[in-house]
Amino acid sequence: MAYDSENIFARILRGEIPCNKIYEDDHTLAFYDIAPQAETHVLVIPKGAYVSLDDFSEHASDVEIAALIKTVGKIARDLNLVEDGYRILSNMGKNGGQEVPHLHIHLFGGEPLGPMLTK
């Protein structure tokens, strides 16, 4: 999947449309999903133009890669998800059901999350 600079998360990063921001640093942005699928549903994205984890791991700098992981952990701690547990998930491409072609990590929590896959 090619990077489309008009994707919704690119537009959020450019400030063209709003988001419900939780945290931002030089390399990452965390915000609430607009259509939450759990009591707590956050998206963590890199600021760079990466479509997927394979793209990110091949082309991003070590600093960007570390920043994304650190932000996911920070959000889990800051939203008090650690004690009861939480789940991260990232959809890639057609089989992964990816809708927005900008790498994003879903962070779910706040309630029991059920089986890993629905099938």
Length of the chain: 119
* 53 forms part of the interface with ligand AMP (CB under 6 A): no
Give the dihedral of Cα atoms 25, 23, 43, 12; nearest 10 deg: -70
Compose the 18-47 pattern: x for residues touching ligand AMP by CB under 6 A, - for all others: -x-------------xxx-------x----
Q: Which residues contact 1 (CB under 8 A, 6 or more apart)?
A: 51, 52, 93, 98, 101
Question: Minimal distance in Å, beta carbon 94 to ligand AMP?
Answer: 11
Q: Please identify which of the residues 27, 59, 102, 104 carries the catalytic annotation.
A: 104
Applying CB under 6 A, the residues found at the interface with ligand AMP are 8, 19, 33-35, 43, 91, 97-100
